[in-house]
Amino acid sequence: MPDDTIPDDNSSDCGPNCGGPRVRGIPPGEDRERLMCPDCGYIAYQNPLIVVGAVATWEDGRILLCRRAIEPRKGFWTLPAGYMEERESTREGAAREAWEEARARIDIDHLLAIYDIPRISQVQMIFRARLLSPDVEPGPESLEVGLFAWKDIPWSELAFPTVVWALREHHERLGRSDCAPAVNPTPDALARWEKML
List interacting residues with Zn ion (CB under 5 A).
Answer: 14, 18, 37, 39-40, 42
Residue 7 CB, shortest distance to Zn ion, in Å, is 17
Q: Least distance (Å) from Zn ion to the CB of residue 33?
A: 17
Angle at 10 between CA 124 and CA 18, to 5 degrees: 160
In whole angstroms, how close is the CB of 40 to Zn ion at the nearest point?
Answer: 3
Question: What letter does residue 119 receive in the DSSP assignment?
Answer: G
> Which residues share a beta bridge with 67?
77, 144
Q: Phi first, then psi: what are they for 189, rounded to 5°?
A: -65, -40
The terminus-to-terminus CA distance of the chain in angstroms comes to: 24
Q: Could you tell me the smallest distance in angstroms from the CB atom of residue 42 to Zn ion? A: 4
The residue among 40 and 114 lying less far from Zn ion, judged by its C-beta, is 40
> Which residue number, 12 or 133, has a Cβ lying nearer to Zn ion?
12
CA distance 139 to 150: 23
In the bound complex, what is the minimum distance in angstroms from residue 163's beta carbon to Zn ion? 41
H or E stretch covering 83 = strand 81-83
Kindly tell me which of 39 and 109 has the beta carbon lying closer to Zn ion.
39
**72 prior amide bond cis, ω within 30:** yes
The smaller minimum CB distance to Zn ion, of residues 39 and 144, is found at: 39
Q: For Zn ion, which is the closer residue by CB, 35 or 40?
A: 40
Name residue 51's beta-bridge partners: 83, 124
- How many CB atoms within 10 Å of residue 86? 5
